[in-house]
Chains A and B, each alone.
Chain A
């Protein structure tokens, strides 16, 4: 099982990628971030 975190400042891109990736059973999405420091924390 793959865990994926999406970090992008554009909400549309984050949400779109979440929709596309969530269609795959072997990918687990973790909470996304809108910038680098948020993604590290």
Chain B
């Protein structure tokens, strides 16, 4: 929770008031004892007290020391990172110091309880238990009241010490004693109210930010969907144009040519043969045009690049975008696959990397591509979360279908993350190492 200025100020005031109060109460014991001794009333004091009092100087020093350590500890917890990290163990220290002050001062001032509870609430990680802590604080305050505790423990009462002063002086001294008590309680209540208000304000602020983020997210999704649609439409139009200009053109010519052949075959077989040769030439030209169009549909990363270079490029892009480390072990330098196989394998590796990052939340991916006697192998291994049950959704099914087109098979395994194993059968002429081995 972000701590507001007023909350911090109230906290500082509470620390200050409690320190002054402890100092005041300890001083009262010291000066009252000195007054009693000076007026030779020590025997009267002992008669009125329920217990034997301790050394007032020692009481004064210990009380001030304990209060100083407690206040410094509370301040240090906020401003010194090493103490902030200690977290709950620091609360134990504060509670022990609180009990020490209560005992040293013979329970004449129990306001430090509210000080410690204030600090516990202030540093609470979430706001759910603040009410419980508040109730616990007030309950501790109630049960540590001198009137209640003295029924069980014989503490020397400060009021007895003050009774030796003249009436007016005793009244004034007691007034200030109760003033610190009351002011402490009021400050604690102000702290709680400020804490609540800050919590509510922060909650509202977070809700507004969440709304804004959701809105931006929604707009971004719409933009992405629109961009994809525009890109899709553009590509469709381009493909339609290509088909019209190449296949459409050629097929129209072929259709007309064959119609002419049907007419000529009875009338002039020689001319029909010449016409068929012309149609055959147009068919071959059409095939070349279609090949050129298909080449334009290759993945962008593979245009004018080898498979290794294309993979290296997309790996670099993924590493930059998603902070994932990808290692490629490529042993296919002597392998020459046709464009179709390269396109399929490229897409499969790309899809695997995307799945590892998006679904597996992997930090490291290893791609091994090596050659075995009768097939090529690709193993893509990530260190992600894997999945207990592999569900064949659109992505994995597409991979299987694509690989089946080139005669390859794929297996998915939940090992040390997620593993994809692809085996592509070797064809004659693809592996230069096999060719040179055959020649020997």
Q: What residues of chain A have their CB less than 8 Å away from a CB belonging to chain B?
A: 10, 12-13, 15-20, 23
- Contact pick for B253, options A13, A18, A19, A23, CB 8 Å: A13
Interface size of B in residues (CB-CB distance below 8 Å): 17
Q: Does B282 sit within 8 A of A, measured CB to CB? A: yes
Nearest residue, chain B, Cβ from A18: B260
A20 cross-chain contacts in B, Cβ below 8 A:
256, 259-260, 263
The answer for the CA separation of A12 and B282 in the assembled complex, in Å, is 8
Residues of A within 8 A of B253 (CB): 10, 12-13, 16
Residue pair A16, B259 in contact (C-beta under 8 Å): yes
B278 close to A15 (CB less than 8 A): yes
Interface of A is mostly: helix
For B256, list chain A residues within 8 Å (CB): 12-13, 16-17, 20
B241 at the interface (CB under 8 A from A): no
CA distance A15 to B274 in the complex (A): 11
Alpha-carbon distance between A12 and B263 when the two chains are bound, in angstroms: 15
A13 in contact with B263 (CB, 8 Å): no
B258 to chain A, nearest CB (A): 8
On chain A, the residues within 8 Å of B275 by CB distance are 15-16, 19
Contact call A12/B267, Cβ cutoff below 8 A: no
Distance (whole angstroms) from the CB of A15 to the closest CB of chain B? 7
Other A-B pairs, 14, CB within 8 Å; known A12-B254, A19-B264, A20-B259: A10-B249, A10-B253, A12-B256, A12-B278, A13-B253, A13-B256, A15-B278, A16-B258, A16-B259, A16-B260, A16-B275, A17-B260, A18-B260, A19-B263
Interface SS, B side:
helix
Across the interface, do B249 and A19 meet the contact criterion of CB distance under 8 Å? no
Give me the 6 closest cross-chain CB pairs, A-B, nearest first.
Answer: A16-B260, A19-B260, A16-B256, A12-B253, A16-B257, A13-B256
Rounded to whole Å, the gap between the CB of A5 and the closest CB of chain B is 16
Q: Which residues of B contact A15 (CB under 8 A)?
A: 260, 275, 278
Residues in chain B near residue A10, CB distance under 8 A: 249, 252-253
> CA separation between A13 and B278, bound complex, in Å?
11
Verify if B311 is at the interface (C-beta below 8 Å from A).
no
> When each residue 202-228 of chain B gets 1 if its CB lies under 8 Å from chain A and 0 otherwise, what string results?
000000000000000000000000000
Judge whether A12 and B259 touch: CB under 8 Å.
no
For residue A40, give the distance in angstroms from its CB to the closest CB of chain B.
Answer: 23
Q: Which residues of A contact B257 (CB under 8 A)?
A: 12-13, 16
Cβ < 8 Å to A, chain B residues 259-294: 259-260, 263-264, 267, 271, 275, 278-279, 282
**Chain A residues near B271 (CB-CB < 8 A):** 19
Q: Please, how many angstroms separate the alpha-carbon atoms of A18 and B282 in the complex?
A: 18
* Distance to closest chain A CB from B262 (angstroms): 8
Please, how many angstroms separate the alpha-carbon atoms of A17 and B252 in the complex? 11
Counting chain A CB atoms within 10 Å of each CB, the highest count among B256, B263, B271, B279 belongs to: B256
Interface hits, B378-426 → A, CB 8 Å: none
- Whole-angstrom distance from the CB of B22 to the nearest CB of chain A? 105
A39 to chain B, nearest CB (A): 18
20 inter-chain pairs at a CB distance below 8 angstroms, sorted by A residue, are A10-B249, A10-B252, A10-B253, A12-B256, A12-B257, A13-B256, A13-B257, A15-B278, A16-B253, A16-B257, A16-B260, A16-B275, A17-B260, A19-B271, A19-B275, A20-B256, A20-B259, A20-B260, A20-B263, A23-B267
